[in-house]
A and B are shown apart, each in its own frame.
Chain A
Amino acid sequence: MGEFAVELRDVVKKFITPEGSELAAVNHVTMQIRHGEFFSMLGSSGCGKTTTLRMIAGFEWPTEGEIYIDGVAMGHTPPYQRTVNTVFQSYALFQHMNVFQNVAFGLEMEGVSKDETKKRVGRALEMVQLTGMDRRFPKQLSGGQQQRVALARALVKTPKVLLLDEPLGALDLKLRKEMQLELKALQQELGITFIYVTHDQEEALTMSDRIAVMSLGRVLQMGPAVEIYERPTSRFVADFIGESNFLEGKVKSVSGDQAVVVIPAWNEDLTGIAMTQVKVGDDVAVSIRPEKIRLTEDARIKENCIEGSVVSSTYIGSDTHVYLDVRGQRVKVWEQNRISTLDPRAYYQKGQKVWLSLMMENTLVLPRD
């Protein structure tokens, strides 16, 4: 058994565009995916996540670099000789075969006996809760059921790694949420490595052990959900995952992992935690999540405390989204509605003066990119 389930070493994939120029869809990507891990590649369309997945599956070959599956270099190994299986975004079910035949196809290719096939297909269909649907054809199934057939068809092969290309993209929100939990439970039960491609950050945060955030063919940051959200190392990641307020400034002094940043727009200094190595004089962006800012009637703490006025306030049930004007800068703050009341004053009103406390540990200093 290799050290990693899948490893990519400095992988590059170049395509020739219709205009004839070269485009690196995947640009020097290195990642190590551990055995039994739920690993997600997250990014907007065109970031290279699907191309990376297709290279692991064997549908595309890297222009440079090497992909290892369970420690074995893949080179130009065709898909049918790899120990990985794929669940496609379009499900890609065989329309001329019924559910049983679809799921049995992979076993038939391996030359598994009839009895054994019957047993394993039965178990796979049970796993995705489709028992009794064997004789149905894909056209007779709902989107969610087709999705389950696609899943069973891949899982019946007991792959070492399951590749999932936005498998829930075509389902409605409620079903998607259900399937997210089911997929996660299934992955933990089977202990198979899942490599999951999605553009939905919430989906990635909910299910993954680790996430690789990708943009323009590169991996910007890789780590557990909490690390990606709480300790982004770039402005792009802080912006792409969740929401954030950004202020531009210059580093004034550094001590340990703390940095004092001059914010010219406010004519004020903010103390925050440096996410990367910074030195005095660096141009930086300060990022503060909207739910991590406290609003108070009066200035409670001296450091990182600043007055602003409410521009608008939106009640959305669990939270109130407050947009403020702070010395000419727009700042958004999510306030949790902890007290049940109909008093409009509890939900902030236009023109109201409030103090924002920006705690040092919530103030992240990021390189400006």
Chain B
Amino acid sequence: MSEKKPPVWLRVYTFIAYLYIYIPILILIIFSFNTMKLNVRWQGFTLSWYNVLFHDSQVLLATRNTLIIAFVSTIVATIIGTLAALAMQRYHFPGYNASETVMYIPIVIPEVVMGIALLVFFVMIKFTLGLVTIALSHIAFNIPFVALVVRARLHGYDKSIDEAAMDLGANEMTTFWRVTLPTIMPGVLSGALLAFTLSLDDYVITYFTAGPGSTTLPLRVFSMVRFMVTPEVNALSTIWVLIVFIVLLIGQIAQSRRA
């Protein structure tokens, strides 16, 4: 690898490119500390919007809902997606190619279409809309993402390490828990992180599958900003960005430790 430093113009360009991406978010964060109720100019520093936020029972309820859905859907989708990826890696069965293609279709289907489809489906089978239907929907759209990430990680997986484990006296179960899973763990974690963040900020599908009392954060934010963006929303967004940032950071650290 060459240790050459990039020329100055390239460094300036890179800096501007990053600004382009992050300036709106920076402004949003700054205005969350603004004393003025309108996001038009800087007036003075305050933490009161955070105080308002922490006492907004509807926001708190939405947060709770969002986290429950994110955790449940991530765990279930990660298990199913990982098993699917392993099966595709290990076995060749009739209809293999078709099943692989069908698996990834939900990724390219427009979210609106999937949302409407799920809504129609739940109504048809007379399933009451609420937290359960949102979680089921999130699991459904997360499975292909997890499977895709884990499958990429499995590419080039040396199956002789499983054979080595069995050769040394481990049965199929022990081999999976002690050798296969730890080996693919970085892929599984990346898949889980992706699923978690996708679930956390999903609006479209959640909008169609939510019922009374099952409002999630994205839904809540949209209803809050219907008339104007208040600093309270800024504060909420700031915390949100912070949480996603921390989750990604943990993922990165976990990845680099493995590698």
Contact = CB atoms under 8 A, between A and B. Distances in A.
Contacts of A92: 158, 160-161, 163-164
Given A59-B167, A109-B169, 11 more contacts: A59-B163, A79-B163, A80-B166, A80-B167, A80-B168, A84-B167, A86-B164, A93-B161, A94-B164, A105-B170, A110-B169
Contacts of A93: 161, 164
**Interface on chain B toward A: helix, strand, loop, or mixed SS?**
helix
B174 interface: yes
Interface residues of B, number: 19
A157 interface: yes
B170 A109 contact: yes
Interface string A48-65: 000000000111000000
Contacts of A106: 168-169
Given A79-B167, A86-B164, A88-B164, A94 B174 contact: no
A157 B170 CA distance: 13
Nearest to B159: A92
A153 B160 contact: no
Contacts of A145: none
A80 B161 contact: no
17 contacts: A80-B167, A80-B170, A80-B171, A85-B167, A85-B168, A88-B163, A89-B160, A90-B160, A92-B160, A94-B179, A95-B183, A105-B178, A109-B170, A110-B169, A154-B167, A154-B168, A157-B169
A100 to B, nearest CB: 14
Contacts of B258: 96
B129 interface: no
A80 B74 CA distance: 34
Contacts of B165: 94, 105
Give 7 closest A-B pairs by Cβ, nearest first: A109-B169, A106-B168, A92-B164, A92-B160, A79-B166, A96-B182, A92-B161
Nearest to A103: B168
A85 B258 CA distance: 28
Contacts of B179: 94
Contact of B174 (A57, A59, A109, A157): A109
A157 B160 contact: no
In this complex, the member of B158, B169, B178, B185 whose beta carbon has the largest number of chain A beta carbons within 10 angstroms is B169
Nearest to B178: A105
A286 to B, nearest CB: 44
B181 to A, nearest CB: 10
